[in-house]
Amino acid sequence: MTDVRAALSAALREQRQHVVDAVDGLDADAMIRPLLPSGWSPLGLIRHLTFDVETFWFEGVVLGRRLDLPSDDDVWHPTEWPRPEQVLDDYGQAAGRSDETLLATELDAHPPRRAFEAHPWIPDRDLLATTLHVITETAAHAGHLDAARELIDGRQRLVLTEFTDRQARRQSPR
């Protein structure tokens, strides 16, 4: 299980770094600017990852701690935005606590009863499955941040090359 735990930790670290890299160099206005009709902003998405992903799943579910988390509206659209540096620091701290939980908890451990009492809708899955869920959600949101970054200033993480007509014809189904 050590290799599995190491692989999970590495994958989670990589996706978290992808999130941080996607917003690196953006000013505060760009971080809070909604880009899609849903109204989310890069800073709101990082707050979501901090509270609703890292803190909720590892502390609230895996450890069964009582949490006093902000409402969805306060996460995504607070009345007053915290400084981006603070949001990134909060994300890093939540990730650090999650890492401690991942290292200290058996991968086949299920949430304690108090987690189900506080959140009766959570799935009864082990730490391995919960960690895979967090990796998946973090990776999906890292991709959202890549798209947001490209809309903000054109910066691309994945640079696509142009296809010639001949290359396109070779790759099209016949």
Distance between CA atoms of residues 40 and 105, nearest Å: 33
pLDDT digits 0-9 by tens, 89-111: 999 999 999 999 999 999 999 99
Distance between CA atoms of residues 92 and 110, nearest Å: 25
pLDDT digits 0-9 by tens, 27-36: 999 999 998 8
Structural domains of the chain in order of their starting residue, each with its CATH number: 2-171 (1.20.120.450)
Q: What is the pTM of this model?
A: 0.89
What does the buried/exposed string (b/e) look like for 47-84 if buried means 16 or more CB atoms within 10 Å of the residue's CB? bbbbbbbbbbbbbbbbbbbeeeeeeeeebbbeeebeeb
Distance between CA atoms of residues 4 and 7, nearest Å: 5
pLDDT digits 0-9 by tens, 141-162: 999 999 999 999 999 887 666 6
Are 29 and 47 in contact, with CB atoms under 8 Å apart? Answer: no
